[in-house]
Amino acid sequence: MTFLKIRDIVHHYGKSRGAALDGVGLDIGENEFFTLLGPSGCGKTTLLRILAGFELPVQGEIALEGDPLLRVPPWERPVNTVFQNYALFPHLSILRNVTFGLKMRGVPKSERHARAREALQLVRLTDYLDRRPAELSGGQQQRVALARALACKPKLLLLDEPLSALDYKLRKEMQGELKRLQVETATTFVFVTHDQEEALAMSDRIAVMNGGRIEQIGTPTEIYNRPCTRFVAGFIGESNIFEAVPDAQDMLRLADGTQLGISNAQVCQVVIRPEAISIDPQGAMQGRIDELVFTGAATRLSIDLEGGLGRAFVNAPGALASTLAQDQIVRLAIDPRQVAVITP
């Protein structure tokens, strides 16, 4: 049985603004780390608020372990939410912040203190029980918010862009912490973010959203290596997108005649990631280096291709990049195993 079933959810904030959600449906498994990924305004936070009970859709159904959820008030749902701004009480100690939700649920004092300490031990904050939130770093405050939610032992934990206020290094650390907590507590996480790196690093599966609809659902590897639509290809990572046509043997080729080594009977578009293109003296494509941008582990090349193909982006490793220069003519080879066909 599907743990969380979402069917045909429609929601809007006034007819003039269009649909915030337009027939969204998906299934989420038990103990899964599931991410709703998309740009601002795509509907991901609206869907999260509906799951939490803060919004009621105009159409659709949601069931948790087979039980209808939409008519259950927020405070009665086995669901907790970690907000973007943490929502900690500044006048309460860390321990009392974590016990607050348990107190509101009528949990006896001795039990709620034990559960709060257990949750704080999970997030490695047992040395800070008597401190106030203002005495903690941003990452520590984030962990307090997580402990408060986990102490209630929810069946479903919702996370609304909880890492967006953290700096890059701390954000990377918290990604590992979140995944560890999800596995250790065996809790289903639904995580909302616009950050593709977060989604790829932590998720078991990802739903890419755009304009109130789901463009694609898949594992991080599937989403990155086999995008189904042009939007997904453009939103996830960096992509080179070309039109390809089949030859007499239904083998795809580009406008300059470059054979891609994959078969398809129809004119289509193909996605080729920068790492799937290499500088190769024997390569079939040729172009001029227009720009070199050092990114740390590699150098990003922008190459004007010959044959009417436009521009391609290529990642060159450090040793190779040191031999290249702007306006240099180079030949390129494509790895056919990393070419994906998409819906135009």
Give the pLDDT score at 25: 97
- Is the dihedral angle over the CA atoms 324, 330, 336, 342 positive or is it negative? positive
pLDDT attached to residue 90: 93
Concatenating the DSSP letter of every residue in 175-234 gives HHHHHHHHHHHT-EEEEEES-HHHHHHH-SEEEEEETTEEEEEE-HHHHHHS-SBHHHHH
What pLDDT, on the 0 to 100 scale, is given for residue 8?
A: 97
Is the Cβ–Cβ distance between 332 and 283 less than 8 Å? yes
Enumerate the CATH 3.40.50.300 domain ranges in the chain, comma separated.
4-231
pLDDT at 83: 87
AA letter at 275: E
Q: Which two tokens stand for residue 266?
A: 């129809």
What pLDDT is stored for residue 1 in this prediction? Answer: 65
* Distance of alpha carbon 269 from alpha carbon 309, whole angstroms: 12
Contact 156, 78 (CB under 8 A): yes
**What is the rounded CA–CA span in Å between residue 290 and residue 301?**
7
CA atoms of 10 and 61, how far apart (whole Å): 10
pLDDT of residue 15: 67
Locate CATH 2.40.50.140 in the chain. Answer: 238-342
Which structure tokens are listed for 101?
Answer: 């939700």
Residue 344 has a pLDDT of 65
- What is the third-level CATH fold of 238-342? OB fold (Dihydrolipoamide Acetyltransferase, E2P) (2.40.50)
Q: Report which DSSP code applies to 128.
A: G
Provide the token pair at 325. 């220069």
- Partnered with residue 11 across adjacent β-strands are 21
**pLDDT mean by block of 10 residues, the chain; 344 residues:** 93 78 96 96 95 95 96 94 88 94 89 92 91 91 91 94 85 89 94 95 97 97 95 94 91 90 90 94 94 91 92 90 92 93 80
Q: Tell me how many helices (H) and strands (E) the chain has.
A: 9, 20
Please tell me whether residue 317 adopts helix, strand or coil conformation: strand
4-231 folds as: Rossmann fold (3.40.50)
Quote the CA–CA distance of 248 and 251 in Å, as a whole number: 7
The CB-based long-range contact list for 252-259 (8 Å cut-off, 24+ gap) reads 252/341, 254/285, 254/307, 254/309, 255/307, 255/308, 255/309, 256/285, 256/305, 256/306, 256/307, 256/308, 256/309, 257/284, 257/307, 258/284, 258/285, 258/307, 258/334, 259/284
Q: For residue 102, which phi and psi values (nearest 5 degrees)?
A: -65, -40
CA distances from 44 to 8, 16, 62, 214, 278 (A): 15, 20, 15, 10, 36
Q: How many beta carbons lie within 10 A of that of residue 212, not counting itself?
A: 23
